[in-house]
Structures are given as C-alpha cells and as structure tokens.
Amino acid sequence: MADPSHYEPLRRRFGEAARFNDPLARYTVARLGGPADAVIEASRPDVLADAVLVCWQNAWPVRIIGSGANVLFSDQGFRGVIVINRTKKLHIDDQRGIVNAESGVGLITLARDTMTHGLSGFEWAIGVPGTVGGAVVNNAGAHDGDMAGCLLSTDVLIEPDRREEWGLPELAYRYRESALKRGPLRAVVLSAELHFSPGHEPGKLRTHADEFAANRRRTQPTGASLGSMFKNPPNDFAGRLIEASGLKGTRSGGVVISTTHGNFFVNTGGGMAADYRVLIDRARETVQAKFGIELELEVELIGETPEM
Ligand code: EPU
C-alpha cells in the first residue's frame, strides 16, 4: 500500500473522482483483484486524458480499464493508478452510417443502438462484454466480425502528450492485436469513428443478432468469467485444445475450467486471481506437452510483475 500523500496531486485535481486503496474487484467482471493505490473514474474524455497525463508526468504506473471484462488483477492489487473509463457519448449518423463513440461506450450498447438506427455491421458484438477503447486496442471480435472491419479512425493520446488520429494503416491490425497493443508506444484511446451499412430493417438485424446470442448461450458459460482466456492459435482453437487435454472441469479453489467451453475459466464463488494463475499455467503446460502448442493469453494480467 502506498503512502496516500504520494498521490496528493490526484486528490487536489480530481476531488471525489479519485479514491485511494480502492479494491479493484468491484470494477471487474470476474469480481477479483486487490486494492489499487488510486482509482480515478473519468466520465469525460478530457478527464480521462488529464488523469493519464498526470500519471505519465509523475512516472506513476497507470492502466486504463473499461468494463473490466478482459483483465485479471492480482490479489495484491496494483501499485499505481487505475483509470476507469466511464466516457459514454455516442453519436450516430444513420443516413451515412457513421458512428462516433467515446471510448467508454459499451460494445453491447453500441450493437443495440446501431441496430435500432438500421445500421448493419456490428451485430457480432451483441454479446461481447467490453468497451470501444479496449475493442480498438485488442481488435475485439466474434462470429467472423471484428473492429478491423468497421473502424475508420481513432483519436489517441500518446505519451508524453500528443493527440493523433490513427486509421487502419497506423493500427496495423492482426487477430486480436494492434500496434497499440504491441507497444512500445504508450497511448490511450479517447474515441473512435466507425462505419456501417445504413438503411436496414432493425427487426431483421435483431433477428441476426439473436442468432449470435443464442449461439453464445449454447456454447459459452454464464457467470463470472473473463471471456476467452487464450487467443486461438493459428489453425486451431484454444477451447478444443484444452478439452482434448482433458482439462475441462479442472478446479483451483473457486475457479473452474468450464465444462461448457474449455477456454472459459469461471469464478464459481470465492475464487482468487491466484486460482486463475494456477489454471492458466496448468492449461499452458498441458497443451504444450500434449500438442507442442504455446497458448497465448488474450486476457491481460495486471499487477503481476515486480516492476508494477
Ligand atoms: N471447441 C471444443 N471444445 C470446447 C470449446 C470449443 O472442441 O470446449 C471447438 C468448437 O467445437 C469449435 C471451435 O472449438 O469447433 C471454436 O469454438 P467456438 O465456436 O466456441 O469459438 P472460439 O474460437 O472458442 C471465438 C472467440 C469468442 C467469440 C466466439 C464466437 C477467440 C479467442 N474467441 O471463440 O470471443 O465469442 O469465437 O464467435 O477468438 C472473447 O474473445 O472473449 C470471446 C468470447
């Protein structure tokens, strides 16, 4: 735990929006994680940018999270500042099919709203937890759709203090990856401009999205999980490999490898981040030993490395 006076500038600048020694479990879908030294909730892009700039200027470790869908915080928490992105503004031009979204907008909200406006091209996101910012960085996707297929540009703040508009050439998307994810630049997504096909019948779009939702309900577990734990390796599927390794149903404490889908690790109650770590290591080792394939995490581990 840090000396609270260390972060005094945050208290002065952000007032009530800054909290100290705040448990991270409440901000994550898996309901896990020890306390962060400081948490700032940013409900406007200027506050989001300001919070990150203060951290960069003071050389404080800082991470931004959206809905906390794809992150696993350690049980010891995070020695630094966590910025929660609560920016929510969304503008939809239904004639042109252009959408401007602040980076804290939820993907499910965006999927619903685009359908209501007769825009097609985001139905795949109907059951995907997460926010626009995380989706831009990770090239989120499902059902053969992904961010690379609908992004026009994104407004990014780059360390130390540069605002730039990036398009597909700068983002250099790959499967679940972008130049923003690969580094070494440190940057924050503030908003994104997306394009869709306009003029569709909302009812038909919803029927399409319902099929995706039904497919998810059939193939993925409900409950507190982190979504897909690992990326799919080339020409194979992490879930299939974990199943073929006989690991479905394997448990550590309160966390279990789902019997419905091998790439989902579910916190059944009382689970710890350390339990996730045990199961992550077990899955990696077993799949490596059996198939010679190295599973790469899709979920981001935060607060695990010594320098953090
Ligand atoms: N499979 C198994 N055993 C399992 C799970 C899956 O054999 O326990 C097999 C399935 O039978 C299928 C193949 O593996 O042949 C792929 O499974 P699935 O269709 O469930 O898709 P996935 O590749 O595991 C991806 C995304 C999901 C997205 C679904 C649906 C990744 C890592 N995951 O899963 O995205 O919802 O497709 O489009 O690309 C996420 O990224 O968090 C996420 C949930």
Measured distance CA(129)–CA(106) in Å, rounded: 7
Name the helix (H) or strand (E) containing 262: none
Distance (Å) from CA 56 to ligand 1 centroid:
37
Q: Ligand 1: which of 126, 217, 219 to mutate, most ligand atoms within 8 Å of CB?
A: 219
Residue 79 has pLDDT above 60, yes or no: yes
Q: Is the CB of 139 under 6 A from ligand 1?
A: no
The residue nearest atom 11 of ligand 1, judged by CA position, is 240
Q: What pLDDT score was predicted for residue 304?
A: 65
pLDDT, mean over the chain: 94
Catalytic residue numbers, as ranges: 176, 228, 298
Instruction: Give the rounded distance of the alpha carbon of 73 from its chain centre.
Output: 13
Ligand 1 pocket check for 233: Cβ under 6 Å: no
Å from CA of 219 to ligand 1 middle: 8
Peptide bond into 45 cis (omega under 30): no
Please state, in angstroms and rounded to a whole number, the distance separating the CA atoms of residues 181 and 188. 10
Q: Is the Cβ atom of 228 under 6 angstroms away from ligand 1?
A: yes
pLDDT per position as a tens digit, 116-143:
999 999 999 998 989 999 999 999 999 9
| In 83-225, alpha helices (H) | 107-116, 132-138, 168-171, 179-182, 202-219
Residue showing tokens 């991470």: 63
**So what's the pLDDT on residue 183?**
82
Q: Which of 59, 103, 65, 105 is nearest to 83 (CA)?
A: 65
pLDDT surpasses 60 at 305: no
Torsion angle defined by CA atoms of residues 5, 10, 14 and 17, in that order, rounded to the nearest 10 degrees:
-70
Residue identifier of the C-alpha nearest atom 33 of ligand 1: 228
The mean pLDDT value for 21-42 works out to 93
Cα(24) to ligand 1 centroid in Å equals 28
Contacts of 16 (CB under 8 A, 6+ apart): none
Q: Among 200-209, 219-228, 249-258, 279-288, where is mean pLDDT lowest?
A: 219-228
Enumerate residues 6+ apart whose C-beta is below 8 A from 129. Answer: 29, 67, 69, 70, 106, 107, 108, 227
Q: Given ligand 1 and candidates 263, 297, 299, which is best to mutate, with the most ligand atoms within 8 Å of its CB?
A: 263
Would you say 288 and 233 are in contact if contact means Cβ atoms under 8 Å apart?
A: no
- pLDDT given at position 184: 85
Q: Closest ligand 1 atom, CA of 175?
A: 39
**pLDDT exceeds 60 at position 307:** no
The first and second tokens of residue 288, run together, are 């490596």
**Amino acid making up residue 164:** E
Q: What is the mean pLDDT of residues 154-176?
A: 97
**What percent of the chain has pLDDT above 70?**
97
In this structure, the residue with its CA closest to atom 23 of ligand 1 is 237
- The number of C-alpha atoms within 13 Å of 216 and in the hemisphere containing its C-beta is 20
**Residue range 106-113: mean pLDDT, rounded:** 97
pLDDT at 210: 94
124, 141 Cβ separation under 8 angstroms: yes
Q: For the whole model, what pTM was predicted?
A: 0.92
> What's at 11, amino acid-wise?
R
The residue count for the chain: 308
Burial 17-51 (b: 16+ CB within 10 A, else e): bbbbebebbebbbbebbbbbbbbbbbeebebbbbb
Q: Give the model's pLDDT for residue 308.
A: 32
| DSSP-based three-state secondary structure for 193 | strand
Task: For residue 297, give both structure tokens.
Answer: 């995490």
172-216 residue pLDDT tens:
999 999 999 998 889 999 999 999 999 999 999 999 999 999 999
Q: Hey, which of 173, 236, 237 would you mutate to test ligand 1's pocket, going by the most ligand atoms within 8 Å of its Cβ?
A: 237
d(CA 108, CA 103): 13
Q: According to the model, what pLDDT value does residue 1 have?
A: 62
> Tens of pLDDT along 53-68?
999 999 999 999 999 9
